[in-house]
Amino acid sequence: MSISSLSLIVGAGGFLGASARFLLTQWIGAHTSPAFPWSTFWINLAGSFALGLLIGWSLKNPLSPEWRFFLSTGLCGGFTTFSAFSAETLSLMQHGAYGVAGAYVVASVLGGVLAAAIGYALLAR
């Protein structure tokens, strides 16, 4: 399969992941306090968990390159929001909320790694 074909497949997954992220961000934002970036936090954990599930599942069920790129780079990559995470952390720090920024970084990173490990463990056995 050519790079241009894979690019379209990744783009389709990215469209779906980014659209899901947008919709979920709106929903979470409507139901949580704006004092902490809950939407990005939960989406990062969910995306990490989903990617862990995908990796764990694919160990027993090898995926074609098309499906692997669609699901991992496209869908999960379009869904997770670590660029937003970085910008929001910087904004918290610029507003003097260093404790909140530190808690956000630690909880997001450790939570993301833990979510990926749990997803992996659930399907890698």
Q: How far is CA 37 from CA 1, 29, 123, in A?
A: 40, 8, 30
- Greater confidence (31 vs 87) lies with 31
- What's the CA gap between 7 and 10, in Å, rounded? 5
In the predicted structure, residue 125 carries a pLDDT above the cut 90: no
- What's the CA gap between 84 and 77, in Å, rounded? 13
% of residues, the chain, pLDDT over 70: 100
Write down the pLDDT at residue 41.
95
In the predicted structure, residue 31 carries a pLDDT above the cut 90: yes
For residues 78-94, give the mean pLDDT.
92
Place of tokens 């496209």: 74
- Greater confidence (4 vs 125) lies with 4
In the predicted structure, residue 83 carries a pLDDT above the cut 90: no
